[in-house]
Amino acid sequence: MKHPCLVRREILVRRTVTIIFILSLMASAIVHAQKMQSDNGDGTYTNPVIAADFPDPDVILVDGVYYFVSTTMFVFPGVTVLKSHDLVNWEYCSNAVPRFDFSPCYNLNGCNRYGHGQWATSLKYNNGKFYLLFITLDEGGFICSAEKAEGPWEITHLPKGFYDPGLFFDEDGRIYVAHGYSEIYMTELDKNFAPASKDSLVYVGDIRKGIEGTHVYKIDGFYYLYCTYGGVDGIQVALRSKNIYGPYEQKVVISEKTHGPNFGIHQGALIQTQTGQWWTMLFVDNGPFGRFPSLQPVTWVDGWPMVGVEGKAVVTYQKPDVGKTYPVTTLPTSDEFNGKELGMQWGWNHNPDPSKWSLSEKPGFLRLKTASVTDSLPNARNTLTQRMFACYSDTLASLATAKMDFGGMKDGDVAGLAVFQTPYAWIGVQKSNGKYTLMMVNNGKVIDSRAIEGKTIYLRASAIHGSGAAYYFDGRNQAPGTGDASFSYSLDNKTFVRLGNKLPMKFSLKIFTGNKFCLFNYATKEKGGSADFDWFRTEAAPIDASMK
């Protein structure tokens, strides 16, 4: 029998080891969060403020809370609204448009809306209501309204659409919208947001073609049109006038050509904090991962809102002074599928068929039933997508892993995990003649395949920022970035085996959103099969040889 003192010492040692282990895990979690999070935990933040595809931002402050809307195009639920207390740490608030039933093309019914759909939304708050004004290129103008940003939102199809609209409620109760490309127009609206006047030309862009993305403000007696000359090398300008119809004078407020995370920063919103500070939320084209929002300080110089510090956009900078300190938050990406609803990070590629997916038929799983008979992933309904989040380091890759049970598939069914844009690729299982084949498909071509037994498999996609990480995150390269995705599988979630080749990820205007991780199941012969996803998990992981 051991002496009681020795027993107590052993217990103490074990407890100490356990505590050290727990602390190391906590430290690892903090480091991991910081790798995927803008807030540095020391009163500073690092741009991009969100390292994911949240383009065309508009931001407003209402009752101490900041609200942020961005473009989602053909993904629904869409028109995503975020909220924050400090402009750095954001969380999901609502998806204002659950589905978009204004054309069969949003159902992938013989046509599609890739590269089209909702974009460049104007967010305003007036007389106790939130408003979202946007355009689709094919269906025209729409306005959503709600008493709370969390919804529910009511959507109305307007008699006229306005390109890149900037909604504005003036002090005298009149309503205006600024809009246009290369030429900026001002139109007065009635209380139903229909035109109450003709379109009045107020400014013609003279730096180059393509002035757009107009937001309207009235500050110290001046009307300001906050616009961009868009593109990867974007230029942000402010126009000002004492009269809303002009004439307007123009000032370049930032034209950032330093290769790094703010190259070409443009298009977004001016924001004043509760303490009187001024900031702007713009975005940067970040290659295949999409367009990332960047938070910049604003200094007023001779009545102009100058962006950045001494003409340069900031990378790491002191967080905005909002009067209080708020905790670090991260936008969710992983999902165990244990709830009654999908996490708000998810969106369907075009409108889903709600009868063809379920979180309740097999509790703890996402069941995807085949919703259409098709020949390829781009034409398949009920593909579930979410944004890729980049890492604040070019030594890390973004990993997505899904556990899939495929016993419910029918002959001709194809199910798996994809990285989707143009080009696209996936790893998954196809059932044919009663047998299962694991395959990697790159842009419609089968690259590798092998027979597989059992009913469960772990699928993984690894997305590397490649030269894009260096270009946008540490500035060492001067060529616009690309990135690569690779695919692997495992039978035990421990050892993963590479399958197929690399996908050279790109940002194609044919799609016009960043690459997305996707879960899918579609039929090539007949509907009726299903695939069950137990979980979907993301992480930032060191790049290794298997990913290159």
Positions marked catalytic: 56, 212
Give the phi and the psi of residue 316 in degrees, each rounded to 5: -110, 130
Other Cβ atoms within 10 Å of 449 Cβ, number: 14
User: Could you give the C-alpha distances from 213 to 198, 324, 483, in angstroms and in order?
Assistant: 20, 32, 28
Closest CA to 485 of 516, 460, 458, 464: 464
Helix (H) or strand (E) holding 19: helix 4-35
Phi-psi region of 87 (alpha: psi -120 to 50; beta: other; left: phi over 0): left
Are 528 and 370 a contacting pair, CB within 8 Å? Answer: yes
Other Cβ atoms within 10 Å of 40 Cβ, number: 15
DSSP SS3 for 9 = helix
User: Could you give the C-alpha distances from 438 to 378, 379, 460, in angstroms and in order?
Assistant: 20, 21, 13
DSSP category for residue 137: T
On the CB side of 137, CA atoms within 13 Å amount to 10
CA distance 53 to 104: 26
Closest CA to 146 of 159, 133, 129: 129
Are 300 and 240 a contacting pair, CB within 8 Å? Answer: no
Measure CA 468 to chain center.
17
Instruction: Retrieve residue 471's tokens.
Output: 């270009």
Are 397 and 413 a contacting pair, CB within 8 Å? Answer: no
Are 512 and 115 a contacting pair, CB within 8 Å? Answer: yes
Other Cβ atoms within 10 Å of 302 Cβ, number: 6
Helix (H) or strand (E) holding 449: strand 445-452
Give the phi and the psi of residue 405 in degrees, each rounded to 5: -100, 125
User: Could you give the C-alpha distances from 455 to 276, 407, 409, in angstroms and in order?
Assistant: 59, 5, 10
Which residues have C-beta within 8 Å of that of residue 396, sequence separation ≥ 6?
35, 540, 541, 542, 543
